[in-house]
Amino acid sequence: MGLFNDLGKKFEQLKQEAESSASDEATHGCRECETLLYTDYAECPECGSDSVVPVRRD
């Protein structure tokens, strides 16, 4: 019983870490609406602008 509760908590924790680290790994962003993207879109899925540019991380 206790074991399953611990696993459930651990799973939630891992899921949250995965979600937060995903937002650190955006590869592209829209210059118009500043939406972070994970794919090199030809047009921003949020505002339709073609100003999707690679995010520089040095």
Residues forming contacts to Zn ion in the complex (CB under 5 A) are: 30, 32-33, 35, 44, 46-47, 49
For Zn ion, give the closer residue by CB, 28 or 35: 35
Q: How far is the CB of 42 from Zn ion (least distance, A)?
A: 12
CA quadruple 16, 40, 33, 56: dihedral, nearest 10:
80
Closest approach of Cβ 39 to Zn ion, in Å? 13
> In angstroms, what is the minimal distance from the CB of 51 to Zn ion?
7
Burial class of residue 40, CB neighbours in 10 A (0-12, 13-18, 19+): exposed
